[in-house]
Every structure is written in structure tokens, then in C-alpha cells.
Amino acid sequence: MTEFSLESFMAGVVRRNPGETEFHQAVREVATDIIPFEAKNPVFREARIFERLAEPDRVVSFRVCWETDRRRIHINRGYRVQWNNAIGPYKGGLRFHPSVNQSILKFLAFEQTFKNSLTGLPIGGAKGGSDFDPKGRSDAEIMRFCQAFMTELHRHIGPNTDVPAGDIGVGDREIGYLFGQYKRLQNAFEAVLTGKALEFGGSYMRPEATGYGVVYMMEEMLALKNEDLDGRTCVVSGSGNVALHCCQRLMHMGAKVVTLSDSSGFVHDPAGIDADKFAWVYDLKLSRRGRIEEYAKEFGCDFHAGERPWAVPCDLAYPCATQNELDEPDARSLVEGGCRAIAEGANMPSTPAAMKFLAEARVPHMPGKAANAGGVAVSGLEMSQNSQRFSWTRGEVNTKLHDIIRHIHEQCVRHGEESGFINYCRGANIGGYTKVAEAMLAYGVV
Ligand code: NDP
């Protein structure tokens, strides 16, 4: 066999995907663990499984034309990146944010493949979205954009082909508009999206699943050390779907959440967010679509413009906003401030330098592809319920979600244990890789 090193492999990835820095970052992070793993499992190496996994099955990009309320024509770019369907139909969210480009969606689709495998459910990996900025747009404009986006996307998806869901900028309002347009175009009521409202095939617990799952995961991590969440001070970033449900579940468990953030800065509430404050901020961010700064004004606490919350002393940290929001100096501040474990709600929120620092400091650090898998897990359960034309109760879905998170944690421990420390990042990579690799091996060269 020819010599195969991390650096030679990455040189090829960079050459074939020029300028796609987020994608390079995500591949390198996984490759660091999988290349040595394949060296010990030559059957995968000989079949060049990881090299195949570093190429998407396909990337579709398309024009999205739509009109504002003042009848101005706008042109955006839409994408669907179908990464790998070895273990099930493509599945992964849609992101509407001005930063969206091919590199970001490729990193997300690549990571999604490992995450979906970790859940144990039969779902492959994908991601999509657009550089459309929903901020400040009217409901009618959002509807027209979603309809225009789906008019092209519908050719590429289907209940057994590819089942998108939400992500940044795509919540239940957008899923409603997207599903309505798909149904009209296909003249069929098909379970082609997840995150639907309960009235048209949604699952209980889907809105809460990602954030709650992150907290269930932290409970598993603490239980290994005979600890729990009660009374712990928690720092959370973001204030969208994931951050708010993470915050809510932490409150239920007796923990104290002292920060939330958005792209303008963070609020620090040393007294902690209680049920009344939570109800207010939930309405602010998810219904009124306001700015987190208003929380500081309403409840008389500090707003730190343009800053991230990682220097606030805490026991536990939950990055729940976006990629690369936690760099090495932030990781250092967290550890100096007493942080003893991190569970990532966002996808790839930690930079490579932050990950290295945390591993060297031996801080238990659950990466997004494992910690936030509760969202796609309940999406998978939504697909199962839709196939049966039946709905499970909230309690039934919650029990299954809990079981899936426990199963993911077990895999991370099994594959990540190293002399008394659990390297959760390595555990997640190897655990996620193995099932996809076995399936690809079974298919031969395709
Ligand atoms: P939302 O759109 O509901 O919220 C995103 C939050 O992150 C907002 O508070 C937003 O602030 C903030 N944010 C976005 N971009 C930036 C930025 N560049 N800098 C600082 N803050 C930023 O998205 P979700 O809560 O759904 O997603 C959050 C993260 O969780 C993402 O990484 C997503 O991929 C991941 N995730 C989501 C899942 C889900 O089920 N929704 C499932 C698994 C992972 P602002 O309002 O100012 O834009």
C-alpha cells in the first residue's frame, strides 16, 4: 500500500476544494482520528473508505429569485449538498444566513454524516440552505423566498431520497412555507421535511430536541463522575432554538444559566434566568425576533456589545450559536474561570486551537456532532411516525430521545477512552465512522 499520511491526504483535500476553509477544518478534525484508525483496520484503508467519505455524493446549487414587498427583485443562491446515503436517505437541515456558502454547507453535510450515524437511526448526511438574510424581512417576503427556494429544491428531495429540516434562520414558520410549496408542486402529502408543526405530521419534542439533547448529554458526562447539574452555573451562547431549549432544560434541572448571546453581543445575568425571564426572552427571540440586548434593558443586567460570553466564570459551558465561536483564548478563559465540561449545541463552534487546548487541559468536551444529535434523532423519529401514519406521545418521544443520547454517549466512551480520560471528540469520530464504513464496504465500489 502507498504511504498515506494526514498531511498528504489533507493536501489533496485542499487542492480539490480550494478556498473552502471551514470544510478543510472539519475534514482535518475527523481525519486526525480516522487515518490512524484505518491504519489499524486495513480492510477500510484498502477500500479507501475515508477518502471516498471526503467527497460529497453531489452538490446542487441554484438561483432563487423573489420579490420584496416593494416589488424589488432579489437574487440569492440556494444549495443542497447530498453527502452520503450509505445508511439511509440524505438528511440534514437548511440554513438561511448571509454567511452561507459552499464551504460552510460542505462542512456541515460532512459532519452530519457522522452525527446521523451516531444516532443509530437509518439516516444519511446532507445539508443545504441559502445566503438569504431573513433579518428584517416581512412574513410575506419570507413566504415568497421559501416558495421560490422550494420550487427548485423539490426536484432533488423526496421521502426516500432526501429529507431536509431546519437550522439557523429556518424554524417552524419557514418549514411551514417550504412544506406547503412542496405539497403544491408534487400534489402529494409526503413526509419530505421534518420539524413540521404537529397539525401536519410533526413530532412532539422536535422543537426542544436539540437543546434538551445537549443537556441530556451533559448529564451523562457528569454521571460518569458521579456528579449532576443541580446548582451548577452555566454559560450558554446563542439565543435561537438550540440555546433557548438548552437554557430551559438546564433550568428544569436546577442549574443556573447566566448568559445568552446573539450576533451583536451577550447578556450577563448573574442572578440567573428564571421561568418569567425565560418566557419573556423566548417570546422576544422566537416570536418578536428582537435583539438580545433588550433582555439587559428589561431585567437590568449588563450587555457586552460585540463580545462572546466565555470569560464569565462558570462550571459548565454550552456553545449554541454558530461555527468557530470559541477560540483558544476563549477556551483558556473558560478553564481559568472554573469550567469543568463543555457540550456543544452548535456545529463546530470550537476552533482547532481551542479543541487542542481543551484536550491538553483534559476538559471533558463533547463535540457538536454528538452533543447536538438529539435534533436529528427526533427528526428521524418524525420520519418513523410519518411512515407509520401514527404519532407517539410526548413521553414516548422523550424516552426514545433519552435512549439515543445514552447510546451516543456510550459509543463516544467506548471509542474515546485513553488512560483515565475520555477523548469525546475522538470517540464521536470513530463511533460515527464505523457504521457508515461497514455499509460502504458492503456495497463494493460504487
Ligand atoms: P437559530 O437561527 O434559531 O439561532 C441562531 C443563534 O445563533 C442566534 O442567536 C444568532 O444570533 C446566533 N448567531 C448566528 N450566527 C452568528 C454569528 N455569526 N455570530 C454570533 N452569533 C450568531 O439557529 P439554531 O438555534 O437552530 O442553530 C444554532 C446552532 O445549532 C447552529 O450551529 C446549528 O447548525 C446548530 N444545530 C441546530 C439544530 C436544530 O435543530 N435547530 C440541530 C443541530 C445543530 P442572531 O439572531 O443575531 O443572528
The residue ranges of every structural domain in the chain are: 58-189, 207-363
* 2, pLDDT greater than 60: no
Tell me the three cell numbers of residue 427. Answer: 470517540
Rounded to the nearest 5°, which phi and psi values hold at 96? -110, 105
Q: Whose CA is nearest to atom 42 of ligand 1?
A: 375
Q: Is the CB of 319 under 6 A from ligand 1?
A: no
State pLDDT tens for residues 220-269.
999 999 999 999 999 999 999 999 999 999 999 999 999 999 999 999 99
* 1, pLDDT greater than 50: no
Q: Whose CA is nearest to atom 30 of ligand 1?
A: 346
| Cα 29 from Cα 88, distance rounded (Å) | 24
Computed over every residue of the chain, the mean pLDDT equals 97
**Residue 161's pLDDT band (cuts 50, 70, 90):** very high
**Are 58-189 and 207-363 equal in CATH topology?**
yes
Pick the CATH number of 207-363 from 1.10.760.10, 3.40.50.150, 3.40.50.970, 3.40.50.720: 3.40.50.720
For a ligand 1 pocket test, name from 81, 116, 168 the mutation site with the most ligand atoms within 8 angstroms of its C-beta.
Answer: 168
**Residue 333's pLDDT band (cuts 50, 70, 90):** very high
State pLDDT tens for residues 103-122.
999 999 999 999 999 999 99
The residue-averaged pLDDT of 195-207 equals 97
For residue 163, which of 154, 173, 151 has the smallest C-alpha distance? Answer: 154
Give the CATH class of 58-189.
Answer: alpha beta
* Gap from CA of 39 to ligand 1 centroid (Å): 37
Residue 50 confidence (pLDDT) = 98
Residue 158 confidence (pLDDT) = 98
State pLDDT tens for residues 138-149.
999 999 999 999
Q: Is the CB of 32 under 6 A from ligand 1?
A: no
* 204, pLDDT greater than 50: yes
* 101, pLDDT greater than 60: yes
Catalytic residues: 127
Counting from 1 in the atom list of ligand 1, the atom nearest the Cα of 321 is: 7
The residue-averaged pLDDT of 405-429 equals 96
Q: Whose CA is nearest to atom 10 of ligand 1?
A: 262
Residue 150 confidence (pLDDT) = 98
The residue-averaged pLDDT of 404-420 equals 96
**Residue 328's pLDDT band (cuts 50, 70, 90):** very high
State pLDDT tens for residues 52-90.
999 999 999 999 999 999 999 999 999 999 999 999 999
Q: Which has the higher per-residue pLDDT, 3 or 342?
A: 342
Q: Which residues contact 390 (CB under 8 A, 6 or more apart)?
A: none
For residue 32, which of 352, 364, 360, 287 has the smallest C-alpha distance? Answer: 352
Give the gyration radius of the chain's Cα atoms: 21
**Residue 420's pLDDT band (cuts 50, 70, 90):** confident
Residue 3 confidence (pLDDT) = 66
State pLDDT tens for residues 363-385.
999 999 999 999 999 999 999 99
Please report, rounded to a whole number, the percentage of residues in the chain having pLDDT higher than 70: 99
**Residue 419's pLDDT band (cuts 50, 70, 90):** confident
The residue-averaged pLDDT of 424-430 equals 98
